[in-house]
């Protein structure tokens, strides 16, 4: 992600790439949460 390396001004394309990477990370986190919920439900 470009936004976290200290640069103050990003191009529009860099901002788009950052947001896409962030979205992918959130989707992966949601998948992990869903998997953990299923694991916990099986332990009942």
The residue count of the chain comes to 44
Q: Are 2 and 10 in contact (CB under 8 A)?
A: yes
pLDDT of residue 2: 55
Give the model's pLDDT for residue 8: 83
Residues 6+ apart with CB under 8 A from 15: 2, 3
pLDDT value at position 7?
79
Place of tokens 């947001």: 19
Cβ(12)–Cβ(24) under 8 Å?
A: no
Residues in the chain where the model's pLDDT stays below 70: 1-5
pLDDT in tens, 28-39: 999 999 999 999
């Amino acid at each position: 992600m470009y936004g976290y390396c200290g640069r103050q001004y990003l191009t529009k394309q860099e901002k788009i790439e950052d947001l896409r990477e962030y979205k992918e990370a959130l989707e992966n986190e949601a998948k992990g949460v869903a998997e953990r919920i299923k694991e916990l439900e099986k332990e009942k």
